[in-house]
Amino acid sequence: MGMAGKRIVMTGATGFIGSHVAGLLLEQGAEVYALVRPDSAHRDRLPEHGRLHLVGGQLSEAAACLSGAGSADGFLHFAWGGVNREEIDSPAVQGKNVEDSLACLEAARMLGCRIFMDAGSRVEYGIMADGIMEESRECHPVNEYGKAKLEFYRQAEVLCRQWGMTYYHLRFFSVYGKGDHPWSIISTLVRELPEGNTVSLSACRHHWNFMEISDAASAVVQLYKESDGRDGEAHVVNVASADTRPLRSFVEEIHGLCEGKGKLEYGTFVQAKEGALSVCPSVQVLQELTRGTWEEQSTFAQGIQRMLEKFAGSAARRLG
């Protein structure tokens, strides 16, 4: 199944992952209707395109705002508020996210969508003693953000099965690349090390997983393209790389690509609430649902090299 002629509704299309998915959908011929807040500061992440339609509005009013689209084949819900440290543990903020997400699911039903996909998170798993995160394992999220993502999945699964929609709950792991948050570990390292600066880090002994953004976007689109014949099915899908190893290995590889510039200061960074937990995602479900048609295209080194070139270009423009 190709994307030419498909009408896709999106939320979060101006976000990091959403903007790359939207760009790829447009590239492959889809008609994209993006619900965007009127005060969105990132509209410039989306390209000028004849098949891209920006629809102003709030998530809670999704059905009314998107009624002009008439009908759609699929709904990709990637918007979620309160991901900063101040609001990630707020029951009120995260509870509102669940309400707004249910409003988007109702909009998908109204538009006649046959497929609904939303952005979950690895934090839904919570603390796994062995770090192995398989979709079939019981989840015990630690923070309110993870609890809300899991709660929405549980409600959406029931509704999508009831309405005959194919439902993919995409649990993204650590995605990096162009447009990543400036405070992420990857962005920090590729920005600071070439300048000869010191970067404060945890001990970095735990296992981790990084996926380049273009591979993450292509995984989403390929899942969509291979969704025929799955009406009424609901699947949790880890969207992650096959490359899992100690975090220090990734850090040292970046340091090497930066020609050894800057200094790595291990053991000085204060951990988040869940602490230094190993992350070892299984990608078997992703492989099965894409019927073997999808594979990563970027090695970690290739993805980091592209980021280094981007930061070098930005620095040169500032100096110029």
Q: Does the pLDDT of residue 276 top 90, yes or no?
A: no
Assign 229 to helix, strand or coil: coil
Q: What is the pLDDT of residues 136-164, one digit of tens each?
A: 999 999 999 999 999 999 999 999 999 99
Q: What is the pLDDT of residues 186-201, one digit of tens each?
A: 999 999 999 999 999 9
Q: Are 312 and 258 in contact (CB under 8 A)?
A: no
* Best CA proximity match to 160, nearest among 108, 203, 204: 108
Q: What angle do CA 85, 17, 312 make, to 5 degrees?
A: 85
* Best CA proximity match to 14, nearest among 38, 41, 32: 41
H, E, C per residue of 79-144: CCCCCCCCCCCCHHHHHHHHHHHHHHHHHHHHCCCCEEEEEEEHHHCECCCCCEECCCCCCECCCH
Q: What is the pLDDT of residues 196-220, one digit of tens each?
A: 999 999 999 999 999 999 999 999 9
CA distance 13 to 22: 6
Quote the pLDDT of residue 231.
Answer: 94
Q: What angle do CA 24, 281, 303 make, to 5 degrees?
A: 45
Q: Does the pLDDT of residue 318 top 80, yes or no?
A: no
Provide the CA 64 distance to its chain's centre, in angstroms.
26
Quote the pLDDT of residue 275.
Answer: 57
Identify the structural domains of the chain with CATH numbers, from first to last.
7-177+210-242+281-289 (3.40.50.720), 185-207+243-275+299-319 (3.90.25)
Q: Is the entire prediction scored with pTM above 0.85? A: yes
